[in-house]
Structure 1
Amino acid sequence: MNLTYSVTQKQLLDLLLNVAVVRPVFVWGAPGIGKSSLIQQFAERVGLPCVSLLGSQLAPEDLVGVPQIIDGKSRFCPPSMIAKRYTTGS
């Protein structure tokens, strides 16, 4: 299910703080309106590192990685700066 919402900058930060911590959120808009700055603010508020990627300058293998043989199986190995795993304490 794809849901699309139009929000203001203030509403976007609230949306990220309440939704993006449990579901992926795609932020789209015209260049120069502050999308990256808002995402950086969100990351700082929740204590996460923020990596900025410009999709127009990336090839698919930059995100999914290249296949490597691991334990006899071919697996895609994305770059560690993109595919970080966060775990909660047990």
Structure 2
Amino acid sequence: RRPGRMAVVAKMGMSAPTDAGARLADVRCPALVIEGTLDPDWPDPRAEGEAIVAQLPEGLGRLHMIEGAGHYAHAQFPADVTTAILAFLQAGVRG
């Protein structure tokens, strides 16, 4: 058990997506955006992911779409998400 863990999780739900969006220009490290092609939260998941990448500083963001995934791609297609993350990390190591 980790004391305070649930308090941190609860705070995550207290912010609005606009809160995070306002900070995207402040990102200083490579960022991988993973979207499911069938995410019901967005009319066009690819466009949503591309918009997030566009708000990041030039060259830091990369979008990876998981075919057939909804909003919880990590739960629906864990192997695909893991493969995408590992490829992203390996590309960063190679520089």
Normalised by the shorter chain, which TM-score bucket? 0.3 to 0.5
Higher helix proportion: 2
**TM-score by structure 1 length?**
0.43
Q: Which has the higher contact order (CA 8 A, sep 6+)?
A: 2
